[in-house]
Amino acid sequence: MDRRNNTHVSDFILMGLTESEEIQLVLFIIFLIIYLISVLGNTGMILIIHLDLQLHTPMYFFLSHLSFLDISYSTAITPKTLHNLLTSTKHISYISCFTQMYFFAFLGVAECFLLSSMAYDHYVAICNPLHYPVVMSKRFCCSLIFGSYFIGSTNSMINVLFMSRLEFCDSNVIHHFFCDTSPILDLSCTDTHGVEIMIFILAGSTLMVSLITISVSYLFILATVLKITSTSGKRKAFSTCASHLLGVTIFYGTMIFTYLKPRKSYTLGKDQVASVFYTIVIPMLNPLIYSLRNKEVKNALSRLMQQREDSRQLKSHRF
């Protein structure tokens, strides 16, 4: 019992990205701007989809949840990172650290399966357009969303439970800017082999199942598109999938680079850059990717602005 008390830490210290105060200030400004753009962009996307009736389709239903996940994902990491960049005390409590780890894993896994659901939605829309309203019913879409959140929560809970059983003896200094699994595993004074295998299985199975779903969906889409004779039809099909493919490539590329490799190959600099990209930058990029390349979102924004202008003019005429 004494040994357990001696090896249990009450808090950790997040070393962050750099010890230079000048660089920390620059990073604070950059990350704050990115975070504000991310929150405003994703919130704006959710509001546009909610307010415009023409966007009440399965595709934009999934997109609104992607925006919600991106806001949550970024908020789980960025505010604490910003706080640490401005203060000399970079402590995070044991409970807060593992809570951050839980939400980070939960939201990441949920996003993987949400991206898979979006790929399947594109497959049905392009390959089986006549059956689309029946297949992609509201009930089925809600089931896919619920499944994504449920699998993410379960996966993350198992991960955190295994990680919380580790003991920490020599140090509580985390060489990272948030509570990620690899840096915390490095601090443990107990055998982490079993935990590492479990994490690899959970992360590997999540990435493989979701990637296989996305790959198979797009193989069928490609086969269908190649059969289309009209150039405009092919262009429309490709434009429907282009934004999603770009988002998938960026998200999965950084995740695979970071997690599907042996822990011994963990390098502080490269992995921190990858972590910054998928925790802070990607949530900002998604609303830009899905709005700037999407005519329907642009048209919806124009309609909403026109409606606001019309209502304003109507009020001015009344008074």
- What band does 6 get if pLDDT is binned at 50, 70 and 90? very low
The percentage of the chain sitting over the pLDDT mark of 70, rounded to a whole number, equals 89
Q: Is residue 277 part of a domain?
A: no
Q: How do residues 89-146 score in pLDDT, each as one tens digit? A: 889 999 999 999 999 999 999 999 999 999 999 999 999 999 999 999 999 999 999 9
pLDDT above 80 for 236: no
Confidence (pLDDT) at 150: 97
Q: Is residue 273 part of a domain?
A: no
Closest CA to 251 of 298, 297, 205, 214: 214
Across 11-15, 22-26, 222-226, 287-291, least confident range = 287-291
Confidence (pLDDT) at 3: 41
- What band does 1 get if pLDDT is binned at 50, 70 and 90? very low
DSSP 200-234: HHHHHHHHHHHHHHHHHHHHHHHHHHHH---HHHH
Q: How many domains does the chain have?
A: 1
Neighbours of 245 (CB within 10 A): 16
For 47, counting Cβ atoms within 10 Å of its Cβ (0-12 exposed, 13-18 middle, 19+ buried), the class is middle
Sheet holding 173-174, edge to edge: 91-93, 11-14, 173-174
Q: Average pLDDT in the 43-71 region?
A: 91
Neighbours of 79 (CB within 10 A): 13
pTM as predicted: 0.87
Q: Is residue 225 part of a domain?
A: yes
Q: Is residue 308 part of a domain?
A: no
Confidence (pLDDT) at 298: 74
Q: Is residue 139 part of a domain?
A: yes
Helix (H, G, I), strand (E, B) or coil at 106: helix
Q: Is residue 315 part of a domain?
A: no
Highest mean pLDDT among 20-24, 272-276, 311-315: 20-24
pLDDT above 50 for 30: yes
Domain with residue 41: its CATH number is 1.20.1070.10
- What band does 35 get if pLDDT is binned at 50, 70 and 90? very high
Q: How do residues 245-300 score in pLDDT, each as one tens digit? A: 888 988 888 877 766 655 555 555 566 777 888 888 889 988 888 876 677 777 77
Confidence (pLDDT) at 154: 96
Q: Is residue 306 part of a domain?
A: no
Give me the amino acid identity at 251. Answer: F
Closest CA to 199 of 108, 78, 96: 108
82: containing domain: 11-261+282-300
Confidence (pLDDT) at 318: 58
Q: Is residue 317 part of a domain?
A: no
Give me the amino acid identity at 125. Answer: A
For residues 65 and 290, is the Cβ–Cβ distance under 8 A? no
Neighbouring residues of 129: CB distance < 8 A, sequence distance ≥ 6: none
